[in-house]
Amino acid sequence: MNLNKAALAEEISKKAGVSKKDAEDMLAAYVSIVTTTLQAGNTVNIAGFGQFSAKTRAGRVGVNPQNPTEKIQIPPVTVPKFKAGLALKKALKSGGAPVAAPQADEPAVEAEAPAAEPVAPEAPMTEEHTPEAPQM
């Protein structure tokens, strides 16, 4: 199922138990807040979901696709960037099983990762298998 803005508002209204109009207003407010925050050069971080930020891509010299021999100057531009959070990454890796984002009163930091398993040592090298030092 692909969600457009109207379908997302409908899903929000079902999950939050509010009217569809209220959900549309909430979604419009969210989009407006994120947009103005990024325009101001700040970031929006939603714990467990991800971080929205704005990045300035440097100007560069490009090629005119209609005339490949002509070089054109591409100016610097500010573009939106999204970095997925840990809970979202885990939800996608687990095959679609929903993983709830931390609530406001829960710590956003996950438990430490399990310790790596010890690696078996390689067989000792003999003189005939020892690599030579690079020649300089």
Do residue 58 and residue 34 come from a single domain?
Answer: no
Number of domains in the chain: 2
Which range of residues forms the domain containing residue 92?
Answer: 44-96
pTM of the model: 0.63
- Pair 10, 53 in one domain: no
> pLDDT-derived band of residue 53, with 50, 70 and 90 as boundaries?
very high
Residues 37 and 50 in one domain: no
Give me the DSSP letters along 2-19: ---HHHHHHHHHHHHT--
Whichever domain contains 67, its CATH number is 4.10.520.10
Cβ atoms of 9 and 21 closer than 8 Å:
no
What's the confidence (pLDDT) of residue 12? 94
Nearest to 48 by CA among 107, 5, 93, 94: 107
Instruction: Answer yes or no: is pLDDT of 74 > 70.
Output: yes
Q: Between 26 and 121, where is the model more confident?
A: 26
